[in-house]
Homo-oligomer: A and B are copies of this chain.
Amino acid sequence: MRTLEVDLGDRSYPIYIGGDLLKQAGAYFERHGLTKKSPVLIVTDKNVAPLHLHKVEASLQASGYRTVCHIVEAGEPSKSLAVFEQVMTTAIENGLDRKSSVVALGGGVVGDLAGFVAASYMRGVTFVQMPTTILAHDSSVGGKVAVNHRLAKNMIGAFYQPEMVLYDVNSLQTLPDREVRAGLSEMVKHGLIWDEPFANWCGDNCDKLLALDADALEYGLIQGCGIKAKVVATDEREQGLRAILNLGHTLGHAIEATGGYGEYLHGEAISIGMAAAALIAVHRGRDASLYEKTIQLLKGFGLPTAMPQHLKEEQLISAMMHDKKFTENKIVFVLPVRIGEVEIVSDVMLEEVRQVIAELKGEGQNV
């Protein structure tokens, strides 16, 4: 088991990464001094519940905690105000009080939803993250929690830090292959924005990672979380530097939105977005090898790098217009400088984006 401290002053918290941590949930709750007098609400989804919920419940109950569960449908549509309200109802009906904890057991969807519940229930209760996807290594650091509005993703939320993160690497063994790849997309992103050796390590270890080798996963997650933690620690409320974490996300969110939040996984969408960002950078003068290396790395993980034909350019553009990355009507884009370094560029023109969307559609025809 390894521990990573996310350093945010009096909102600092540890991420525990290792095997079988879910079975030790009760001990970690005790270590953090969480009261046994108030009920604990575990939010999870229909896929994760049959696989992993019993471990958490059994461990907490063995330590003397009273648990309440709320199980949502799996998938992005559960990040809605309607589901948020249902979780609140469960919390109230089961007498959760100010000293209660809300646990997110699942991927980023459950993490974001349960995190916003924890941030808002009685104006804030203790939040514990138990990520069960690789992608959630990203959402477990940084304190961003949110639900979606039908017009745009993540529009309604808060910055709210957890008390701790329990990252059980064994729980990842049950992940479907497509989710594994999509999660590794965000891990690769952390290499691309910050750490060339780590990006190269990802490329060299892509078979081990795809095979869910425990040592490789533990190392990769620690590095990925560590990079994000460093960025977040210098910019908790996304005033500047933190925006580099959005590499691939401006177009990625538009792909998710036009695909109806269902067709593309987040990690797949941002993989295409990272390819697009590299191509824009090349058009603006970076060496062509930057784009080649980027898509080679992503393809190694079986991730998409071409723009799907059926996504309409106009819909992508208009989805981007609604996105919060548009400040004062200019398009802000994170563009790579080289592998391991990015820059925030605020003058990307719609024309450049249209051009790249068209070129990446062409790419698709050769695959």
Q: Which residues of A contact B (CB under 8 A)?
A: 35, 37-38, 81, 84-85, 88-89, 92-93, 95, 97-99, 119-124, 144, 146, 149, 151-152, 155-159, 237-238, 322, 324, 326-329
A97-B328, A98-B327, A328-B97 given as contacts; is B152 within 8 A of A92 (CB)? yes
Quick one: which of B122, B151, B158 contacts A155, CB cutoff 8 A?
B122
Quick one: which of B37, B158, B238, B327 contacts A328, CB cutoff 8 A?
B37
> For chain A, what secondary structure do more than half of its interface residues adopt (helix, strand, loop), or is it mixed?
mixed
Number of copies: 2
User: In the complex the two chains form, is B157's CB within 8 Å of A123's CB?
Assistant: yes
Q: Report the minimum CB–CB distance from A267 to chain B (whole Å).
A: 22
User: In the complex the two chains form, is B328's CB within 8 Å of A121's CB?
Assistant: no
A157 contact set on B, CB distance < 8 A: 120, 122-123
Q: How many angstroms between the C-alpha atoms of A325 and B44 in the bound complex?
A: 28
User: In the complex the two chains form, is B158's CB within 8 Å of A120's CB?
Assistant: yes
- Beyond A37-B328, A98-B327, A120-B120, 8 extra complex contacts between A and B, CB < 8 Å: A38-B327, A38-B328, A92-B152, A92-B322, A93-B151, A120-B158, A122-B155, A123-B238
A159-B124, A324-B97, A328-B37 given as contacts; is B92 within 8 A of A85 (CB)? no
Residue of B nearest to A119 (CB): B158
